[in-house]
Amino acid sequence: MAPDGGLYVPETLPNITSLIRPKPIPYAELATCFFRLFNDEHPLEEIEALMTRSHSTFIDPVNPAPLVQIAENTFVLELFHGPTLAFKDFGLQLVGNLFEDQISRTGMPVNVLGATSGDTGSAAIHGLAGKNGARVFILYPKGRISELQERQMTCTEAENIFPIAIDGSFDDAQNIIKELFGDLDFKAKAHLSAVNSINLIRILAQCVYYIHAFNQLAKDKRKGLHFVVPTGNFGNILAGWLTAQMGMPADCFVVATNENDLLYRLFTHGRYQPESVSHSLAPSMDIQVASNFERFLHYHLEGASDQTKQIMKRVKAGETIELPDFNPEQFSATRTDNDGILYNIRATRENLGYLADPHTACAFQDINPDTPTVILATAHPAKFPDTIHKAVDEKPEHPYLESLKAKEPRNTSLPATCQAVRDYLEENMLKG
């Protein structure tokens, strides 16, 4: 977060049309070309090394985000082939390596603080586990993520990892994070750094796989293209939209929500109105405060920072915000409740032969078979075996997840208060 409590955005957005190719190139090469447009701090060879290392942990480093065709005009961009089986790996493997680079250059430790509704925490932990000079504190809502998601965070056996289960919702955890980052004296004293999608590097890293997806499409599937994105905190779909602003052709970005449908209501009725969080079958999307909407609002208001700041001040106060004539081009939205998630998993399996996790299942709502469509698959179905079994009588497994079942979880439980978390950080953080 910026010192005034806002979120950073790039000063300018570069043109990326040179990265649009008739066929895909190796992923680390594409990521290097993209980040060269933003990074004037590292020499080219260092950027190349960072990108190669950050994607070496994926099953196929050359193509870590394969595009799978499941119907004439429907494709699935599989983003779950990284070390923690979720799309967050794309941003957080890079963030972990950048933190390591920063620590080696400055000699200063970092205490990484984040909140997770499921997948961010495990991806951040995997990206930083065992790295010298870094400690990782991840807050998550107790009892509101899947058992396997929790085990991914609590069974690492790494001494620098501190998972914290709080008695509250993800939004409570996120609010604690923002309050601690807003205390500039404590932020400086604790050498705090962020891993949530308020960290702009996360968003930029996710831009790359949209370009990679586009480059995998045949020429006749690139016109009138829709991207459908399971959405909670608005970071993943913001990355796609930013990529379009930089020159990648795309007609529409579909915000696919679960029953916690803040963003569906926003893009359908122009009203930003947080409600209580409902515990759904797609727990990583159980969010009612979409942090990255602030960045989109900044662009929507054509860079009017003062107006953005005033609206976000009212949002943070819990007010309902009416945005008249809010009908942004390139956006639409869908909503899927728990019954719909189960139905979509079942129908997609039976009709298309594809097994989707509960979050990706939200993106199969109201797909037009005549429109070229790329659905972003955000997590491996094996992370949610109970829901999959309920829908299709299958229990998908993955060797990595199965290995976690034999390990002893290690975490800390705290009340959902800023003071409790601050005290815990003071006791366990690296000082320097």
Q: Residues 6 or more apart from 45 whose CB is under 8 A from it?
A: none
Q: What is the mean pLDDT of the chain?
A: 94
Is the pTM here over 0.85, yes or no?
yes
The Cα-based distances of 356 to 5, 7, 111, 346 in angstroms read 37, 33, 35, 9
CATH label of the domain that carries residue 371? 3.40.50.1100
The answer, yes or no, to whether residue 118 has pLDDT greater than 80, is no
Contact between 330 and 250 under an 8 Å Cβ cutoff? The reply is yes
Q: How far apart are CA 142 and CA 140, in angstroms?
A: 6
For residue range 162-211, what is the model confidence (pLDDT) as tens digits? 999 999 998 899 899 989 999 999 999 999 998 878 889 999 999 999 99
| Same domain, residue pair 303 and 344 | yes
| Same domain, residue pair 82 and 219 | yes
For residue 189, tell me if it sits in a domain: yes
For residue 103, tell me if it sits in a domain: yes
| Same domain, residue pair 107 and 80 | no
| Same domain, residue pair 194 and 295 | no
| Same domain, residue pair 225 and 244 | yes
| Same domain, residue pair 110 and 92 | yes
The answer, yes or no, to whether residue 75 has pLDDT greater than 80, is yes
Exactly one of 23, 88, 390, 405 is catalytic; which is it?
88
For residue range 162-173, what is the model confidence (pLDDT) as tens digits? 999 999 998 899
| Same domain, residue pair 345 and 235 | yes
Q: What is the mean pLDDT of residues 241-247?
A: 97
**88 included as an active-site residue:** yes
For residue 250, tell me if it sits in a domain: yes
The answer, yes or no, to whether residue 424 has pLDDT greater than 90, is yes
Task: Kindly give the pairing relationship between strand 161-167 and strand 192-194.
Answer: unpaired
- The dihedrals phi and psi of 46, each to the nearest 5 degrees, come to -75, -40
| Same domain, residue pair 178 and 314 | no
Residues comprising the chain, all counted: 432
| Same domain, residue pair 331 and 194 | no
For residue range 249-286, what is the model confidence (pLDDT) as tens digits? 999 999 999 999 999 999 998 899 888 888 999 988 98
Residue type, 177: I
Q: What is the mean pLDDT of residues 113-131?
A: 88
| Same domain, residue pair 225 and 321 | yes
Domains in the chain: how many in total?
A: 2
Expressed as residue numbers, the domain containing 310 is 67-86+207-400
Tokens linked to 129: 């586990």
- Transcribe 350-375 into DSSP letters: HHH-----HHHHHTTTT--TTS-EEE
| Same domain, residue pair 389 and 249 | yes
The answer, yes or no, to whether residue 361 has pLDDT greater than 80, is yes
For residue range 27-71, what is the model confidence (pLDDT) as tens digits? 999 999 999 999 888 899 999 999 999 999 999 999 999 999 999
| Same domain, residue pair 79 and 187 | no
